[in-house]
Amino acid sequence: MKRPLYVAGAGAVTPAGLNARQTIAAIRACLSAFEEITLGPLGVPQVVARIPTHRRLHRSEGEWLVNMAARAINEALGAVDPRVAAATVLLVATPESFRNHPAFAKVPVHDFLAMLVERTGRKFHPASRTIDGGAAASLGLIERAANLMEDQGVAQVLLGGVDSLVNDADLARLGQAGRLKGTNAQGLVPGEAAVFVRLAREPKRERVVAAIHGIGLAQEADSVLSERYSQGRAMLGALRDAVNGSGPSEPDIDFIISNGNGERYHGWEMLIARPRFYRTRRELMATAYPAMTVGDIGAASGALALMLAADSFREEYAPGAVALCEVASESGLRAAAVVMRTSGGR
């Protein structure tokens, strides 16, 4: 990256809270938003993390994603002049296309952004886009966000994602593969969420902000969907690319924020990748796993990692000044972002 970008705000709707503050508080307190539901006519129990909501907001899966995302976007954007909103780009990661998410059965993915913008009641920059690629896709577009602000006069970028794995199609797919927690002690807990961070070129009016100094992106051939376990090559490449610049390097990293969801696959991948990357001796590498509170939230996971890093610096509970966000998508995309504590303008 030519210059750092600043995380100047965030918005979230998760099983742990209906805004960013509630979500962060629940993660810090190590609370769990898990609950047990029954699946199918036989009443098979399943642990999930879902957002309690009125059924009028969840008439269909597509409408539910739109409602979640609109709420999180409006929180992240805040009360701004309509002209600022019109100069703001939305980059929205949606559920990965291979999943054939039921949300897009009635709402085609190419119409999703227009519906979302209409639901927010705002007007956004025409460069706004939806993104395929899952959790890692949003982090992978940080450099694009920087270029939009540098070259096209964009005021700011709202970067994030919306997803729900708590639907019949994903539950059946994950269950058939033996990946759900319950039947598999090392399975994942399906969750749902919308999380967005507001990226700016300059820190303005924030007491303390988080600066993104480097990113890395790579594609893993041996994804969790393949018949082979990952050797961590793509994640290792993403980690190395993230520190391959003028910002913090590997010895400077104080803690990790990971979207690891508890699956054996992820544990083995990081067991191989991390020792190859972290070569500086450490007594302890503190690691935050937000999925322990909100479950696997798919495409929203990347923005949640950035939001948690920024809040830990702002509220001064971070174990150090440099965080490394490690994010993996189900289909194999891997991303890493180096985030550093820095004083903002007053």
Domain boundary among 200, 230, 245: 200
Confidence of residue 346 (pLDDT cuts 50, 70, 90): very low
- Does residue 318 sit in helix, strand or coil? coil
* Token pair of 205 as six digits: 């009016």
Give the separation between CA 324 and CA 188, rounded to whole angstroms.
23
Tens of pLDDT, residue by residue over 168-196, are: 999 999 999 999 998 888 999 999 999 99
Is the pLDDT at 221 greater than 70, yes or no? Answer: yes
Look up the pTM and report it: 0.95
Q: Beta-carbon neighbour count of residue 321 at 10 Å?
A: 15
Q: What is the pLDDT of residue 280?
A: 94
- Answer yes or no: are the C-beta atoms of 91 and 131 closer than 8 Å: yes
Tens of pLDDT, residue by residue over 223-260, are: 999 988 899 999 999 999 999 988 899 999 999 999 99
Task: Provide the number of structural domains found in the chain.
Answer: 2
Is the pLDDT at 208 greater than 90, yes or no? Answer: no
Judged by average pLDDT, the poorest of 29-33, 55-59, 112-116, 171-175 is 55-59
Q: Which residue has the tokens 């590997």?
A: 250
Give the separation between CA 149 and CA 320, rounded to whole angstroms.
29
Judged by average pLDDT, the poorest of 142-146, 161-165, 200-204, 223-227 is 200-204
Confidence of residue 81 (pLDDT cuts 50, 70, 90): confident
Domain boundary among 135, 169, 200: 200
Burial 176-205 (b: 16+ CB within 10 A, else e): eeebbbeebeebbbbbbbbbbbbbbbebee
Q: Same domain, yes or no, for 53 and 166?
A: yes
Between 2 and 99, residue with greater pLDDT: 99
Is the pLDDT at 207 greater than 80, yes or no? Answer: no
Q: Same domain, yes or no, for 183 and 247?
A: no
In Å, how far are 139, 216, 329, 341 from 333, measured between CA atoms? 10, 11, 5, 27
Short-list 198, 165, 192, CA closest to 307: 198
In Å, how far are 62, 87, 130, 177, 264 from 226, measured between CA atoms? 28, 41, 26, 11, 14
Q: What is the pLDDT of residue 219?
A: 97
Confidence of residue 129 (pLDDT cuts 50, 70, 90): very high
CATH number of domain containing 297: 3.40.47.10
Confidence of residue 44 (pLDDT cuts 50, 70, 90): confident
Q: What is the pLDDT of residue 344?
A: 55
Q: Same domain, yes or no, for 159 and 266?
A: no
Mean pLDDT, residues 106-114: 88
Provide, rounded to the nearest whole percent, the portion of the chain with pLDDT above 90. Answer: 81
Q: What is the pLDDT of residue 42?
A: 66
Mean pLDDT, residues 141-159: 93
Short-list 323, 52, 71, CA closest to 196: 71
Q: Same domain, yes or no, for 20 and 162?
A: yes
Residue 193: half-sphere exposure toward Cβ, Cα within 13 Å: 37
Q: Same domain, yes or no, for 190 and 236?
A: no
| Longest distance between any two alpha carbons in the chain, whole Å | 59
Q: What is the pLDDT of residue 80?
A: 85
Confidence of residue 21 (pLDDT cuts 50, 70, 90): very high
Is the pLDDT at 204 greater than 80, yes or no? Answer: no
Q: Which domain holds residue 31?
A: 5-200
Instruction: Give counts: helices (H), strands (E), the chain.
Output: 11, 12
Domain boundary among 200, 233, 255: 200
Tens of pLDDT, residue by residue over 272-327, are: 999 999 999 998 899 999 999 999 999 999 999 999 999 999 999 999 999 999 99
Residue 167: half-sphere exposure toward Cβ, Cα within 13 Å: 24
Tens of pLDDT, residue by residue over 151-162, are: 888 999 999 999
In the sheet that holds 333-343, the strands lie side by side as: 129-131, 88-93, 156-164, 192-200, 5-13, 208-219, 333-343, 322-328, 255-258, 286-288
Q: Same domain, yes or no, for 81 and 103?
A: yes
Q: Same domain, yes or no, for 196 and 237?
A: no
β-bridge pairing 88-93 and 156-164: parallel
